[in-house]
């Protein structure tokens, strides 16, 4: 879908997120909300929300996710990511990786396996990044996850089962 953005139409997807549950379905776990948010980001989606904000948990999660300045900035100008690793479609244990290189490079790694951690090793040259020092920072929390030092050519990221991670590369 990344190639469509700006060619066929300005955005590749319109999707809706919910902070707690949809209609009479069970409550979502917070990590499910985060994974859905990251999926919408990599698809270049516009953001819609179908939450019932009369529910205290939905309000609390909206403050965490929707009031986040990085999320607000992102969805004011969404851009689709380029897939690096697609799901193979053979079973439900899907693992995918998406990358966006722009003013701030970003990487999203999804693990839909329900029984194994997904670890992947990335090479800076494959991502189009010049050797140097980078901080890998969690997108939502702005927490430093690891530092790539000069001379280092690769790094690994691990994602627990049923989860996702999105990082920003901050040059230092």
pLDDT above 90 for 62: yes
Collapsed DSSP state (helix, strand, coil) of residue 17: strand
DSSP assignment string, 113-170: -SS--EEEEEEGGGGTPPSS-EEEEETTT--EEEEEPTT--EEEEEE-TTEEEEEEEE
Q: Quick one: pLDDT band at residue 60, thresholds 50, 70, 90?
A: very high
Please check whether residues 68 and 138 belong to one and the same domain.
no
Please check whether residues 103 and 60 belong to one and the same domain.
no
Q: Within a domain: residue 57?
A: yes
Residue that is written with structure tokens 């999105």 in the block: 166
The reported pTM is 0.86
Strand partners, 127: none
Q: Within a domain: residue 2?
A: no
Q: Within a domain: residue 63?
A: yes
Measure the CA–CA gap between 134 and 73, rounded to whole angstroms. Answer: 22
pLDDT on residue 104: 86
CATH code of the domain containing 149: 2.60.40.1180
Spacing of C-alpha 1 from chain mean position: 16
Measure the CA–CA gap between 21 and 40, rounded to whole angstroms. Answer: 17
Q: Within a domain: residue 43?
A: yes
What is the number of structural domains in the chain? 2
The pLDDT mean for the chain works out to 86
List Cα–Cα distances, 130 to 124, 134, 138, 139, 146, in angstroms.
Answer: 7, 10, 21, 21, 17
Domain that holds residue 21: 13-76
The tokens for 19 are: 């902070």
Please check whether residues 86 and 72 belong to one and the same domain.
no
Please check whether residues 72 and 124 belong to one and the same domain.
no
- Reported as a single tens digit per residue, the pLDDT across 95-139 is 888 888 888 899 999 998 888 899 999 999 999 998 889 999 999
Please check whether residues 136 and 158 belong to one and the same domain.
yes
């Amino acid at each position: 879908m990344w190639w469509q953005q700006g060619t066929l139409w300005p955005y590749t997807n319109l999707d809706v997120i919910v902070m707690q549950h949809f209609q009479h379905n069970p409550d979502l776990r917070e990590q499910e909300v985060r994974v859905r948010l990251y999926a919408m980001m990599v698809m270049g989606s516009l953001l819609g929300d179908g939450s019932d904000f009369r529910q205290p948990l939905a309000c609390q999660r909206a403050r965490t996710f929707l009031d986040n300045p990085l999320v607000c900035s992102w969805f004011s100008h969404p851009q689709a990511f380029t897939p690096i690793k697609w799901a193979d479609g053979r079973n439900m244990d899907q693992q995918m990786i998406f990358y966006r290189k722009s003013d701030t490079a970003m990487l999203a790694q999804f693990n839909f396996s329900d029984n194994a951690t997904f670890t992947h090793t990335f090479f800076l040259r494959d991502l189009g990044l010049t050797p140097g020092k980078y901080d890998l920072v969690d997108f939502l929390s702005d927490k430093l996850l690891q530092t790539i030092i000069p001379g280092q050519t690769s790094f690994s990221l691990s994602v627990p089962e049923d989860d996702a991670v999105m990082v920003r590369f901050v040059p230092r």
